[in-house]
Amino acid sequence: MADETISTKDIRDSMGLSKKLQVIPSKTNTIFKLMSKKNGGTNRVPWSSFEGKEVIYDEGQEDPWKRDVTLRYVKSRSSRVNEKGETIIQEDLGTIDFDSSGVLIVKPSEYSKLVYLRRSNSNDSNPFRDKGVVAKWYEEEPGKSKTELLNKEIRISDCSKIIAGMSPKELQVGCKKFGYDYNADIDDMKYSLILQAKKDPDFFINEVGSRDDKTNLLIENAISQQFIEMDLTNNQWIWSEDKELITTFAPDKIEKDSLFDFLTSMKGKEALNKLKKIV
């Protein structure tokens, strides 16, 4: 039987990392550079190509005996059925290759490569790395506009408000979800969740926020990604692509409140589901 190619999602779901070490797929290119380029360096270190496989420690694994996880860069994955009717999984592992200037650009479609580069002990930017391993590369901080930085700070502030209002039981559930000590003191649990929120506030809200929190976040992202826009001439929210009407708003009411009220009503269910698919 011919090999059946498995989807990118299957590859993503088979990484075997705990919730604590999961990597959010990127919508833009991610840049990694060899350590020799850090702090203004220009010369390339002797290494430029690395095997896409190593063992890392994943303390978020529930079974203590399974915390040594084999991290790998899977270029492709396929399955076939042998003569005994058994399904055989085959993985094509790739190498991590930096160019002659010591730079490696990872595209959004190269999820497995992104996971490997971010969670490798060789990545100086990896907060979970084994410090006993010599760092070989680091992730370059993406250039962000003042608006993007401000929006992230607002998100973090929203996360802090959510955490402040969580009950002890909710704090325990949140800490367990992200692999933190859920039997710790309340202040320690809040601090752990705030650290988690700072890494990716959008992801945090989607994981532990209320339905209203998630809807507000969805609206903000849909606006920033230009999927929806306001037609101030006609007091309407419209789809950016085809300019079709989503809902109207009263001139004397806050526009986003009107959109929120519509999306959380029965009439707005179809539009809400559409936003969830495209954002």
Q: What is the DSSP letter of 43?
A: S
Instruction: Among 29-43, 117-131, 261-275, name the one with the lowest average pLDDT.
Output: 29-43
Write down the pLDDT at residue 43: 47
Q: Tell me which of 41 and 254 has the higher pLDDT.
A: 254
Q: Which residues contact 273 (CB under 8 A, 6 or more apart)?
A: none
Report the range of poorest mean pLDDT among 102-116, 135-149, 198-212, 257-271: 135-149
- Considering only residues 46 and 110, tell me which one the structure prediction assigns the higher pLDDT: 110
pLDDT tens digits along 28-38? 788 898 887 66
Using CB atoms within 10 Å of the CB of residue 8, give its burial: 0 to 12 exposed, 13 to 18 middle, 19+ buried: middle
- Cα–Cα distance measured from residue 235 to residue 255, given in angstroms and rounded to the nearest whole number: 8
117, 106 contact by CB (below 8 A): yes
Please report the pLDDT score of residue 11 as a whole number.
52
- Comparing 131-135, 169-173, 252-256, the range with the smallest average pLDDT is 252-256
| 6 confidence band (pLDDT: 50, 70, 90) | very low
Burial of 188 (0-12, 13-18, 19+ CB in 10 A): middle
Does 126 have pLDDT greater than 90?
yes
Whether the pTM exceeds 0.75: the reply is no
**What distance in Å separates the CA atoms of residue 136 and residue 113, rounded to the nearest whole number?**
16
Q: How many CB atoms lie within 10 A of CB 63?
A: 6
When comparing pLDDT for 46 and 119, which is higher? 119
Strand partners, 137: 34, 123
Confidence of residue 39 (pLDDT cuts 50, 70, 90): low
* Type of residue at 2: A
High-pLDDT (> 90) share of the chain, %: 29
The yes-or-no verdict on residue 122 having pLDDT over 90 is yes
Sequence-separated (6 or more) residues with CB below 8 Å from residue 61: 18, 67, 69
What is the distance between the alpha carbons of residues 34 and 159, in angstroms, rounded to a whole number?
Answer: 34
Q: What is the 3-state secondary structure (H, E, C) of 59-82?
A: CCCCCHHHCEEEEECEEEEEEEEC
- Can you give the pLDDT at residue 3? 36
Q: In whole numbers, what is the pLDDT of the chain averaged over residues?
A: 83
- Separation of alpha carbons 69 and 72, rounded Å: 9
Token code pair at residue 275: 């936003």
Q: Which tokens in the block code for residue 230? A: 């306001």
Give the pair of three-digit tokens for residue 41.
């360096």
Residue 116 identity: Y
Q: Where are the domains of the chain?
A: 4-139, 144-208, 210-279
d(CA 51, CA 96): 6
Q: What is the mean pLDDT of residues 89-101?
A: 83
Residue 19, pLDDT > 70, answer yes
Could you report the per-residue pLDDT of 42-89, keeping only the tens digit for each?
444 555 789 899 999 998 888 889 899 999 998 877 777 888 888 777
Of how many residues is the chain composed? 279
Say if strands 137-139 and 53-57 run parallel, antiparallel, or are unpaired: unpaired
30: Cβ–Cβ under 8 A, 6 or more apart, which residues? 105, 106, 114, 117, 139, 142
Q: Over the Cα atoms of the chain, what is R_g?
A: 22
For the stretch 142-159, pLDDT in tens is: 766 666 767 777 888 889
